Structure 1
Amino acid sequence: MSPKSGVRLPDAVLFACNLNRVRSPMACALLRRLMGDRIFVDSCGLKTLETGDGEAQVDPMALEVMREIGCDLSAHRPKTFDDLDDDSFDVVISLTPEAQHRAVEMARGRAADIEYWPIMDPTLFEGSRESRLQAFRDVRDALAARIAERFGP
């Protein structure tokens, strides 16, 4: 049971965004940190963005701000909805409107709760390195607050 809501915790949660490089891996790591292995948590995107070496990776600023709070995302490899090993999630949380549409399609005919959390894309923020890092911190902190509210402490 979730202490805050009195509602049974889901068995499996998926976070989805556009590229699976910033928001969804951050959210996935934050929920794992909160719940440990009590909930299976995964993340994906609509597509992956390959770097010069041909491999998709987490955004370096996302790595840095998550490392600040003791979450290591360095092993995360971005994937798409099509790359998921299993798509039987109890809750799918979309962090972008585009991912929301895909999540609804994926869950059609299933008993999954689909939620949309409109979270700012920090990669769109321009300015100094420190001000861009602050945008990533703000997203991290917004996700952490939303996760704590939704899933309890």
Structure 2
Amino acid sequence: MNAVRSPMAEQLARRMLPATTFVASAGVRAGERDPFVDAVLAEDGLTLGERHPRTLDELEDDYFDLIVTLAPEAHHAALELTRSLAVEVEYWPTPDPTGAGGTREQIMASYRDVRERLKARIGRRFVAPDHPD
């Protein structure tokens, strides 16, 4: 729903990749902004700013070299969307932290885990080994 994993990945990629790289995130369905995402991004010096969850139909551009999906439903939608396009689609299975229960700190730990997994995956896929992030 473009409320948790994808916005985190978008902000991390914007920081880790060159400014000339176009990065956008969208979901299969619209969702509500998640305050835990704001909190874990703030810990890393990032913010969503005024950005709110959006759907694929709301993207300003529909030409991509690569689409990375983080959830099974999004992956299937991306494959359907790109069936007749020359675009690479990668699936990075990423846990959904919204199901975490317990104390606020336990929930935050689940969101931090997703943030760190995404940061590591973006780094392995796109960033040179000598990059500081």
Match of 2:63 in 1: 88
Cα drift, residue 37 of structure 1 = 1.3
- Kindly indicate whether the alpha-carbon contact (under 8 Å) linking 1:63 and 1:74 is maintained by their aligned counterparts in 2: no
How far 1:86 sits from its partner (Å)? 1.5
Gaps of 5+ in 1: 1-18, 50-55
> Please, what TM-score do these two structures have when normalized by structure 1?
0.81
Instruction: Tell me the CA shift for residue 106 of structure 1.
Output: 1.3
- 1:27 aligns with 9
Greater fraction helix: 2
Greater mean deviation of Cα atoms: 122-131 or 105-114: 105-114
Pair 1:126-2:101 in alignment: yes
Identity among equivalent positions (%) equals 45
Partner of 1:46: 28
Bigger fraction of residues in strand: 1
Using structure 2 for the length normalisation, give the TM-score.
Answer: 0.92
Counterpart for residue 87 of structure 2 = 112
Q: For the aligned residues, what is the CA RMSD?
A: 1.0
Q: Distance in 1 between matches of 2:68 and 2:20?
A: 18
Distance 1:87 1:105 in 2: 14
- Contact map agreement 1:21 1:78 (CA 8 A) in 2: yes
Query: What is the number of equivalent residue pairs in this alignment?
Result: 128
Alignment match, 1:70? 45
Structure 1 residue 74: Cα displacement: 3.1
Task: Tell me, in whole angstroms, the C-alpha distance in 2 between the residues paired with 1:98 and 1:141.
Answer: 22
The CA distance in 2 between the partners of 1:36 and 1:67, in whole Å, is: 21
Post-superposition offset of 1:34: 0.6
Segments of 4+ in structure 1 off by > 3 A? none
